Structure formats: structure tokens, C-alpha cells
Structure 1
Amino acid sequence: MSGPTTATCRNCGALLPLALRPRYCPQCGQETALHAPSFWEFVHEFVGHYVALEGTLWRTLALLLLKPGRLTREYFAGRRRRYVLPLRLYLSASFLFFVIVKLFGFGDTRIHFAAGLDAQGRPVTVASSPALAEDLKQAGACLARGDACPLSERLGARLQLQLAKTADAPQAVQQRLGSMAPYTVFLMLPVFAAIVQLAYRRRRMNYGAHVVFSLHMHAFWFIALLAMSLLPAVLTWPLLGLIVVYGLWALQHVYQGRWWATALRALAISVSYALLFVFALLAMVALAVLRS
């Protein structure tokens, strides 16, 4: 008596001919041989789905790093299976950047949440500054008056008191900033795309095209910042210059036009984005301090 000749997919219920021994369901694409994954299978699946480490990565990185704007043009031309998709590339670069910075720090950068620095570069605290002590006393009096103190003054007083508390122990605020930074950068990416769309509004390109360009640019920035965090400080300024030249070249290759017009647009985009980014960063710092 012969055994069963068909089986069913556990996901969609489609019939599977056992004689053909299909590895994947022809209807939904799920694997036919299912088992609890081992640890290394789980790691491989995680890396394969969330970090772009397949063979196309090296081709993608070569194009991204050595030919500014070319990767975006390839995407627009429809050649997408050859390279890592823009969002996945961006997420992989940002993931790698924040993991390494979290483990090793970003160069010699330190954030000091103090009221100021004295002549020797030491934080000015309540104990070392009678003027600061008087300011804090007034801030406390404002908060004690409740609604009698204007809202703007109450917010400033609360922020000043929180800054004084963290002046001698900035690590907690730094950790909070580090945890919030990925979300802030992610939220600023569509803002950058909107600025580029505004600068090139006569190109009649839809917003999604500018998002693709922004994803590639941010992926490059993350890689460049990662290099800056790992390489000697003497190379910081040359790398910053390289970032500027790269951005100008990428804009020219993707959007084309005359070089002088591209340079003016690049300047406008850079200034606008820098101002908005600083505003977002200050808001993030204030939020981190007020919630500490």
C-alpha cells in the first residue's frame, strides 16, 4: 500500500506534491521543511533579514562610496535586484554605527551639562559660583509661585534646575541622548528629503524619489561618521571636507544641471538642514534634561 502522494502547506493549505519534493510552497513561498531553528540558524536569519550582509552588499558599498549619486540613479533606472535596497542599506549602516558608537564611544567627544566652564575648563557648579546659586534660588522661587510665574519662566526655571542637578553627573543624560539619537536621525530623514524636494521643485520629481536619495546620503553619512569615530582625530577635517565634496557630487549626478546652480542648492540645503537639525538636537537635549 503506497503512502500519501501530497501534503499541505502549513501556512496557506496549498497542496504540495511529495514526488517533486518542493523546498518552498508555490503559493505563498514558505519553506516546506519546518523545524525549531538552532541558535546559529536564528543568527543567520536575523542577519539576513535585518542587516545587509549578502553578496550584493559589497557591490552596493563600492557604488555608494566611490561613485556619489550613482546608486540612486541605478535605482531610478530600475536596476534594483543588483544592490541592497535603500531602506535596508540605511538601516544596516545606522545599526552598525550606533552599535559601535555605543560600545566604543565617538572619538573624544564628551557632552558637559553644566552651567559653564571656569578658566581651568572645570564645570561651574553651585558650590563654585555664588551667581549661579542666586540664579537657582530665583528659579526655585518662580516654581514655588506656581501659576503666578509665567509659563515661559517656569519652563526655563525647571530646565535650569535640572541642568544644575546633572552638571556633575552627565553620564545619565548622555545615555538618554544616545538612546534617543537613532529616533531623532530617523525622524529628520524625511525632513531632509522635503528640503531637497523644495530645492529641486522644478524637476517635478515625486517625494519618494527624494527619499531614496536621502536614504543613500544618510547611509553614506553614517559610514563616514563611523570612520571618523574609529580613525585618528587628525583625519577629522579631511573627512569632513570629503563629506562636503561627496554631497555636492551626488546632487550633481542625481539631479544634474549646472555646477554653480548645484553648489547654490547644496548650500541652501545644508544651511536649512543644519538649522533644523540643531533645533531638533536642542529640543532633544531639553527633553532629556527635563525628564531626568
Structure 2
Amino acid sequence: MIGDFFESILNIDSKIFKTLGALFIPGKLTEAYFRGQQKRYVPPTRLFFVMAVIHFAVLGYLAFGQLEDQMDDMANETRYEAFYSDFRTDLDTVRANLEAQYAQVPQLKEALDTLEAKLEDPRKDSFNLVYFTNSNEFGTFESVSLPVSKQHLIEMPLDSLPGAYGVEGFWHQLQVRQIAKLNREGGDFTRFALGKLIWMVALMMPALALILKLLYIRRGHYYVEHLVFSFHYHAFAFLLVSVLLMLAYWFPGYFNSGEVAIPLGMLGIMLYLYKAMRRFYRQGRIKTFIKFCIINFAYLTLFTFFLILTAVLTTLTF
């Protein structure tokens, strides 16, 4: 069984190697799929999800790991200040008792003032918890800044927090609870959000295919052809960006992520999309370039919309 497994995976005639080889030629895999050569290659949906899982695993290892640590540090800092507030309250009680017991010692007040001056007082600071409300008859939203004690932010039960600060309404209270939970468990939120990003990109595919259908409506392609094209294009994009990010991680001196890896990845993805559109849809350079610009603008709009929607839904369901 082990021998058969490695033979099927490492065999040069394996579907994996054939699929990857065809994937690096823009448009070839989609073209071959609709010529009836489905059995030679990995199915489009499976290829898309495999590459998406690999891509987000790389992101989780490289970028989201650091973000998770930063969120945890922020939560721990707030938790420290909340617990330190209890200490300062106890210190005030001890001071009041000492001043009452040793009122005849003139140096005591000066000594206690000097001690307190050296100790920070986190009770003076509050956390500005921001939530959104429907502000007027036109349906626009505005943000509301709610100063919350850091001690309450960490220690108070989430169901009691909105009512304690006079927040009314189901949606307002839900926002306050979820944002408070986010500040308590920020590291867990990054892992939760990462899992949702895969489904965000998957849900974008039908919308992107619809835009392609409208752009090429006179070419007579079926909707599913545009959908498969989108799957193959994103599979390549996931693979290319993942490889470049790993190279930037392993060889930072040669593949700096901000200066080399990301610009190179964007250039490669855009060039691949243009060449794939030329090969699969078989139109001239000028028409293809115009539609290439339109699809990039539409893609940016779609991505922004789905990203905001995913961020809101992820925050509310965390």
C-alpha cells in the first residue's frame, strides 16, 4: 500500500504533475478541460480548494502567526492593567487606614505621595469601545465611542457589559459583546478569521464568473466555463503567492516580502490573467486588454465588498 501510494504521487505521469505543468501555462488547463480531457487532470474545484488550503496555511504560518501574537500581547496588556487596578484600589484603602492611624506623623503623607507618584494608576485610563449605530432617516451609520473601564472589559460577564454602560438595542449590545470578546481572546479570533477567508474566496468565484459571462456574452460560452476559468486562475495565484512568500521567509536577503515577493507576485498574477484570457477566449490584444482592465477593477470591488462582509460576519459570530 505504501509503495503504491508513493508511486501514484511521485510518478511523473501522475495527475498532480500533469495538472501543475498545465497550470503554469495560462489558459491551457481550462482549455483542455472543455476539450474533454478531464480525466488527465485534477478536477477544477479540488485543485482550487487544495491550493487555497495551502495558501492560507502559509499565510497562517507566516503572517497570521505574528498577528496572533500581537493580539495576544494586547489582550494580556489590558488584562494586566485590569488586575493592577485592583491592586491600586487596595493600596488606596491601606493608605486611608495608615493616615487615620498615624495622623500625628507629618512625614507619612509625603512618603505615601512619593510612593504613589512612582506607581502608575491604570484606573485613570479607559478603553474606547467603538460600535456602529443607525444615526438618521437616510440609513447611514456612524460610530459611537463608548469609554469602558479596562477592569470591566476583562472581568465583567459579556452579557452584563452592554447594560452596565447603558447600551440598548439588540444589534448595539451584540456589537459591544463581540468587540469585548475580541479584546479578551484576540489570538483565537485570528485563527477563527483565517478559516473564514477560504470560504470568502470560494463565494467570490460565482460572482467573478458572472462578470466574465457578461464581458464575453457574445462569445457563447456557458457560465460553467467562466467558473472553471476562475477556479484555475485562482489556483495558480494561490500557488505563486505561496511559493514567493515561503522564499521571502527562507531567503529574506533576496526575496524581501514587501519589496520583491509581493510586487513580483502581483505582476505574475496580472500577466498570467491577461495571457489566460487571450488563450481561452481567443480575442485580440486590444479587446482582451480592455476586458482585462474591467475585470481587475471589478475584482478589486468584489474583493473589498466580500472582505468587509466577511470581517463583519466573522466579528459578530466569533
Corresponding residue to 2:67 among 110, 118, 133: 110
CA distance in 1 between counterparts of 2:300 and 2:32 reads 28
The aligned runs of 1:206-225 (5 Å cut-off) are: 206-225=222-241
The answer (yes or no) to whether the contact 1:63–1:71 under 8 Å persists in 2 is: yes
The aligned runs of 1:15-164 (5 Å cut-off) are: 44=5, 55-65=14-24, 67-102=25-60, 104-106=61-63, 110=67, 132=128, 135-137=145-147, 140=162, 144=166, 146=168, 155=171, 158-159=174-175, 162-163=178-179
Give the match for residue 204 of structure 2. Answer: 188
Could you tell me how far 1:77 is from its partner in structure 2? Answer: 2.0
Aligned-partner residue type, residue 132 of structure 1:
N
State the percentage of identical aligned residues.
Answer: 24
- CA displacement, residues 84-139 of structure 1 (integer Å, 9 cap, x when unaligned): 2222322332233334444x23488738999xxxxxxx99x997976936821499
Q: How many residues align?
A: 235
Aligned-partner residue type, residue 278 of structure 2:
Q
> With structure 1 as the length reference, what TM-score do the two structures score?
0.65
Corresponding residue to 1:258 among 284, 287, 291: 284
Aligned-partner residue type, residue 19 of structure 2:
T
The answer (yes or no) to whether the contact 1:184–1:280 under 8 Å persists in 2 is: yes
CA distance in 2 between counterparts of 1:168 and 1:213 reads 42
The answer (yes or no) to whether the contact 1:72–1:212 under 8 Å persists in 2 is: yes
> With structure 2 as the length reference, what TM-score do the two structures score?
0.61
Name whichever structure is richer in helix by fraction.
Answer: 2
User: Mind listing any 5+ residue stretches in structure 1 that lack a counterpart?
Assistant: 1-37, 115-121
CA distance in 1 between counterparts of 2:26 and 2:39 reads 19
Higher relative contact order (CA 8 A, sep 6+): 2
CA distance in 2 between counterparts of 1:283 and 1:214 reads 21
- CA displacement, residues 235-287 of structure 1 (integer Å, 9 cap, x when unaligned): 22111111111111111111121212212212211222221222221122112
Give the match for residue 296 of structure 2. Answer: 270
CA distance in 2 between counterparts of 1:111 and 1:278 reads 23
The answer (yes or no) to whether the contact 2:27–2:277 under 8 Å persists in 1 is: yes
CA distance in 2 between counterparts of 1:77 and 1:212 reads 13
User: Mind listing any 5+ residue stretches in structure 2 that lack a counterpart?
Assistant: 72-76, 83-121, 130-143, 149-160, 249-256
**Do residues 226 (structure 1) and 233 (structure 2) align?**
no
CA distance in 1 between counterparts of 2:309 and 2:295 reads 21
Considering only CA atoms, is the larger Rg found in Structure 1 or Structure 2? Answer: 2
**Do residues 284 (structure 1) and 242 (structure 2) align?**
no
**CA, structure 1 residues 142+76, in 2 after alignment: closer, same or farther (shift >3 Å)?**
farther
CA distance in 2 between counterparts of 1:157 and 1:261 reads 52
**Do residues 236 (structure 1) and 262 (structure 2) align?**
yes
